[in-house]
Amino acid sequence: MLLIPVIGVSLGVAVGLLLPWEIPISYKSYTALAILATIDAIFGGMRAELEGDFIFSKFIVSFFANAIVAVALAYFGNALGIDIYLGAVVAFSIRLFNNLSLIREFLIIRYRNR
């Protein structure tokens, strides 16, 4: 079941790299935050699946809500002349690495028990 998100992310990256469309430089912070927020949601969903408490509706809400709130923070911070998006980058990065460490720990424990 963990293979499905990995395949989805891989396909998304491949399509993104193959399309000849470029994001304007003025949207770089918004795009980076949206990508970071969605990757955080993906790894959170993978962790929840490994723990046995994955709920699809919760994943979808988290996926879009994280991205929308992060981009809104970046927009309002940009309008005020403050780099608020850096706080969101730090928060999402911490959550991302926390989820990755929990996934790794769970897989190591599962492998050792075999």
Sign of the alpha-carbon dihedral angle for 31, 5, 46, 64: positive
The reported pLDDT for the residue numbered 86 is 85
Domain-wise residue ranges, the chain: 26-112
- Amino acid sitting at position 6: V
User: The whole model's pTM is what?
Assistant: 0.77
Q: What is the pLDDT of residues 49-64, one digit of tens each?
A: 888 898 889 888 988 8
d(CA 23, CA 38): 17
Kindly indicate the confidence band of residue 1, based on its pLDDT and cuts at 50, 70 and 90.
Answer: low
Asked if 88 and 73 touch (Cβ cutoff 8 Å), the reply is yes
